[in-house]
A = this chain, B = another copy of it.
Amino acid sequence: MNDTRQFHLLAGLATGHDARSDDAIYQALWEAIVEHRLSPGARLPEDALAGAFGVSRTMIRRVLQRLALEQLVTLRTHRGAQITSPTPAEARDVFRARRLLEGALLTEVVAHVTPEDLQALTRIADQERHAPRDQAIRLSARFHTHLMAMAGNASLSEALSQLISRTSLIIAVYGRGRAGCPCEHPALIPLLERRDLDALQTWMHQHLTGIEASLDFTASGDALPDFEHLFGHHREQNAS
């Protein structure tokens, strides 16, 4: 019994509902993941997706491979794809990386920001406030992505985009209650407007640290339970 139905909400997002192109399928899946409509751990059977999108498994496999290289889905041989459940360690890495990268890039952002950019950011922040929760998460990602794209460095922007997407997964697993950017974004815009680099860097650091601090890593990450942490108290002594 192909549960194609489960994925029909994905297919219906754009054109009609079938024969979508490579990129469109990627986009639809990406949005569904970032918006938490597909939760970490969810299985992604190729047949079901192929049916939902009206294409063959060939294309689905290509899209899944791409998502896997971006660490949004995990591919295990002969066991199929599922939405990645980041480990606490990975979560920590992502936040450290983002603090470092976004902090450093703000220097370039300040140097290149234009009035159009400010308008675009304001619009995104507004939409974010009035959007339902799931879309707000995606718009929050968009806010950061757009902000960092101003630095004018495609290589870094792309790497950062991946980190931002992964943050959404991390929030899905470890966020409790009203996690995610709790609408702090509008506060950044005036700082950017008067090009106050120090204030921007401080703000960004606190923003990211605040999100990370709001997470709850004691809840087992949905993946394999951390027996070491649950039962063992000899963490410091094994040096190998």
Using a CB–CB distance below 8 Å, which chain A residues touch chain B? 62, 65-66, 69, 90, 93-94, 96-97, 100-101, 104-105, 153-156, 159, 162-163, 166
Our pick among B66, B93, B153, B156 for the contact of A155 (Cβ within 8 Å) is B93
B residues within 8 A CB of A94? 155
Question: Least Cβ distance of A101 to chain B in Å?
Answer: 8
Which residue of B has the minimal Cβ distance to A100? Answer: B104
State whether A97 and B156 are in contact (beta carbons under 8 Å apart), knowing that A69-B69, A104-B104 are contacts in the complex.
yes
| Copies of this chain per assembly | 2
**Do B97 and A155 touch across chains, with their CB atoms under 8 A apart?**
yes
**Further 7 A-B residue pairs, CB within 8 A, beyond A66-B69, A93-B153:** A62-B65, A90-B155, A100-B104, A104-B104, A155-B163, A159-B159, A159-B162
In Å, the complex CA distance between A213 and B16 comes to: 52
Question: Least Cβ distance of A9 to chain B in Å?
Answer: 27
**Do B93 and A154 touch across chains, with their CB atoms under 8 A apart?**
yes
B residues within 8 A CB of A97? 153, 155-156, 159
**Do A93 and B156 touch across chains, with their CB atoms under 8 A apart?**
yes
B residues within 8 A CB of A69? 66, 69
In Å, the complex CA distance between A104 and B156 comes to: 14
In Å, the complex CA distance between A107 and B90 comes to: 19
In Å, the complex CA distance between A69 and B104 comes to: 25
Which residue of B has the minimal Cβ distance to A159? Answer: B159
A-B contact pairs, 25 of them (CB 8 A): A62-B62, A62-B65, A65-B66, A66-B69, A69-B69, A90-B154, A90-B155, A93-B153, A93-B154, A93-B156, A94-B155, A96-B153, A97-B153, A97-B155, A97-B156, A97-B159, A100-B104, A100-B105, A100-B156, A101-B156, A104-B104, A155-B163, A155-B166, A159-B159, A159-B162
In Å, the complex CA distance between A155 and B154 comes to: 17
In Å, the complex CA distance between A104 and B96 comes to: 12
Which residue of B has the minimal Cβ distance to A163? Answer: B155
List the 8 closest A-B pairs by CB distance, nearest first.
Answer: A159-B159, A97-B155, A93-B155, A97-B156, A93-B153, A100-B104, A69-B69, A94-B155
B residues within 8 A CB of A100? 104-105, 156
Which residue of B has the minimal Cβ distance to A68? Answer: B66
